Amino acid sequence: MDKAVEAVYDEVLKRNPNEPEFHQAVREVLESIGPAVAKHPEYIETKLLDRLVEPERQILFRVPWVDDNGKVQVNRGYRIEFNSALGPYKGGLRFHHSVNRSILKFLGFEQIFKNALTMQGIGGGKGGSDFDPHGRSDTEVMRFCQQFMTELYRHIGDQTDVPAGDIGVGGREVGYMFGMYKRLTNRFESGVLTGKSLKWGGSLVRTEATGYGTVLFARSMLQAQGDDLEGKRIAISGSGNVAIYAAEKAMQLGGVPVTLSDSSGWILDEDGLDLDLVKQIKEVERGRISEYANRKSGVKYFSGSRPWSVPVDVALPCATQNELNLADAKELVKNGVRAVAEGANMPTTPDATDLFQASSVLFAPGKAANAGGVATSALEMEQNASRTRWSFEKAEKKLTEIMRDIHDSAAQTAEEYGRPGDYVFGANIAGFTRVADAMMEQGIV
């Protein structure tokens, strides 16, 4: 790491103790940007990096609500508004028991560069709560979302901060939050939240976008090497929105996804996944992935482990951060994996990433590969602003173009700096320079 850049990282460690996920995200970016900083000493002179790693605003608030038994519950709500140099803050809300400041700062920091790569004029932010909607009734979820919004509404707006969904936040939660926002502000400001129902301002392809985009990026990497997804065996982790639609797009492009997982274990379907069955179990019944093995013959279920031991050509980690470690990476490399694309945010540990790159495995970081979700959220904002509704085909075409442009930008930037094929380096430098140039032109703010 460049000496001046390392000093910034040391200060991050000092000022943000006990935030390992945030430290990891910052280090991963700072390790790449030394060559760009060397070309622009003004970045150091104006403390641009010091400003970049410090959120513009951090909001922490209490969320009291009443459960179905009449008992008062108290959760924490967060919004990390990290950087608005390129546009209003944009990033999801995560409702999960693991949510804390470190995780949201890591996600918000990643979001800055992810959003910059889309070239859609959106800044970076993230938020959420340690409330977990799993096992809660619809009325409990509604009460929580309404209470959450009674504070959050003060800090958001279609020209200020535009939250979306994330883990634990889907169309149901977005609907409840939007309803309370509308009541509190007396405005039908449809662009203030994305991931809305198609009945009142949502965008076609938004549900599929993150998973589709991850697969489109993986295909672009293979095509740059004269290959394609056709006939490739694919391991996918997770069984939520991203994983399901990554599997769907992979199948459309001729790939053969054979695994899915959840926090309890994973399935192996050598014949290729039955997506109708997966959607019934996960989207309709909200069941466990083990149910798939119970209902389809020949499927194996493995409890308490992850799906990286099966020989595949492509791996798509689509569950959560740091889910694919060095031991998993060694197993994948031993079994001949060709490409890895991150569908989740930072799902691959740093040492695993290093091994993939040292082994000439094509590796796409999440800030590039899973940018399809936020890209389509921005397309939803565009439709809301013009009060129009695009067809599925038009929205998917725009998503495909954006993902191709992100791939090409990362690849070309890596080539320009003498690191051909290094998508981590290329994505970090490309995203960073776009944000840094805007920050320089906007002064010390």
120 is in an annotated binding site: no
Outline where DSSP puts E strands in 30-105.
57-66, 72-83, 89-95
To the question of whether residue 249 is assigned a binding role by annotation, the answer is no
Which residue type occupies 128? G
Q: Which of 362, 318, 353 is nearest to 222 (CA)?
A: 362
User: How far is residue 274's CA from residue 296's CA, in Å, rounded to a whole number?
Assistant: 9
- Rounded Cα gap, residues 183 and 305, in angstroms: 45
Is 377 one of the annotated binding-site residues?
A: yes
Question: Is 39 annotated as a binding-site member?
Answer: no
DSSP 197-251: -GGGT--TTTTTHHHHHHHHHHHHHHHHTT--STT-EEEE---SHHHHHHHHHHH
Please indicate whether residue 232 is annotated as part of the active site.
Answer: no
Residue 367 is assigned to a ligand binding site:
no
Q: Residue 329: which H helix or E strand, with range?
A: helix 326-334
Q: Which helix (H) or strand (E) holds 37?
A: helix 34-39
Does 372 carry a binding-site annotation? no
Single out the catalytic residue among 14, 47, 71, 126.
126
The rounded distance, in Å, linking the Cα atoms of 236 and 239 is 8
Tokens of 114: 């992810």
Could you tell me the strand order of the sheet in which 314-316 lies?
Answer: 256-257, 233-236, 314-316, 339-341, 362-364
300 annotated as a binding-site residue: no
**Binding site members for NAD(+):** 210, 241
Catalytic residue ranges: 126
**Binding site members for substrate:** 90, 111, 114, 165, 377
**Binding site members:** 90, 111, 114, 165, 210, 241, 377
